[in-house]
Amino acid sequence: MRVSDDLSITQDIKGVTMYREKIRVLDCTIRDGGLINNHDFDDRFVRAVYTGVAKAGVDYIELGYKNSRELFSSSEYGHWKFCDDDDISRVIDGVDTNIKVSTMVDVGRVDIDDVRPAADSPVDMIRVASYVKDIDKAIFLANHFSDKGYETTINIMAISRDSGPQFEEALHQIKEDCLAQAVYIVDSFGALYQETTEDLIKRAQAILDSKEVGFHGHNNQQLAFSNTIEAIIHDANYLDGTVYGIGRAAGNCPLELLIGFLKNPKFDIRPILDLISNEFIPLREKIEWGYIIPYAITGMMNEHPRTAMKLRNSDKKESYRDYYEELLGSMQ
């Protein structure tokens, strides 16, 4: 077992429990899980997740996207595609908890005038999702929301495709011009391995100095949890997980595994186990997520899982070799 100089590995060694106070865990069950069902979760389910995650001691819960209703139809998508403050308040009011609420915005998909100042909103944090090429727009959004009183992060998506010089230029730009307190490395395609995770976290740390680094992993190759541990080893302090690993396609780092790894006594895995038993086992019978061969193939090939998701909704859903050959041919 590797242990960094500041004892950042949160495991028991010789009977001594160690944990890093700076670590913050964010649950994005509703936000990332909503990519499976157009964010059409009912209020009862969202409140159950909010209550359970809060009781588990998680620091933040991300309840969806703040998308423009001019770009997305309310008749096609559920409440959590838009995260109106009134909808959020309706599901969180009356729950005695210290958990903070997060929402996400995508560059080019949010109407900033629709976002109230933080003092008038139940939302504490807004995370800005961006590709490297749009980092200037992401910085503008993060600074705008910071000026409105929100905690902010920038989440750099598809990092396995954009980890070259432009990535480092983006980090320098964030360091110089952005008010966000954290920058997330996002393994959108589940293509990273531990060595690449280590390299990306170290490069980000070296450039960003005082800003925190976060990690968001997808589980296409069943590496979301191990890559999250690797990020922790190298001092990433903002960590994402979802209950039972729910998320688009192969899903995310399972929150229950992350809490089990982090030996901080403020976390309690029991409410998450109850959530899985009561809510997520039944949900898994209705919608599909998790490690499945087509998603593993897209992870191996560093491709977006959209074609695999299309395959899983077809009458050829188990034609793995044909899909592999087809995807391989399209890349040549």
Q: For the chain, list the domains and their CATH numbers.
A: 24-284 (3.20.20.70), 293-331 (no CATH)
Number of H helices, E strands in the chain: 13, 8
Does pLDDT of 75 surpass 50? yes
Does residue 229 contact residue 261 with C-beta atoms inside 8 Å? yes
- The whole-angstrom separation of Cα 15 and Cα 24 is 24
Of 197, 195, 189, 196, the C-alpha closest to 214 is: 197
Q: Which of 9-13, 141-145, 205-209 has the lowest mean pLDDT?
A: 9-13
- The whole-angstrom separation of Cα 109 and Cα 190 is 24
- pTM across the whole model: 0.94
Q: What is the mean pLDDT of the chain?
A: 94
Does pLDDT of 241 surpass 70? yes
% helix / strand / coil in the chain, to the nearest 5? 40, 15, 40
* DSSP at 244: G
Mean pLDDT, range 157-181, rounded to an integer: 97
- The whole-angstrom separation of Cα 315 and Cα 331 is 24
Tokens of 279: 């809510």
What does the DSSP assignment read for 181-207?
SEEEEEETTS---HHHHHHHHHHHHHH
Give 199's pLDDT tier (boundaries 50, 70, 90).
Answer: very high
pLDDT at 13: 43
pLDDT at 5: 44
Does residue 134 contact residue 105 with C-beta atoms inside 8 Å? no
Does pLDDT of 10 surpass 80? no
Contacts of 9 (CB under 8 A, 6+ apart): 1, 2, 3, 18, 232, 233
Does pLDDT of 6 surpass 60? no
Residue corresponding to tokens 């961006």: 130
- 44 to 92, 230, 279, 286: CA distances (angstroms): 11, 35, 10, 17
Does residue 28 contact residue 64 with C-beta atoms inside 8 Å? no
Which tens digits make up the pLDDT trace of 174-198?
Answer: 999 999 999 999 999 999 999 999 9
Mean pLDDT, range 304-313, rounded to an integer: 97
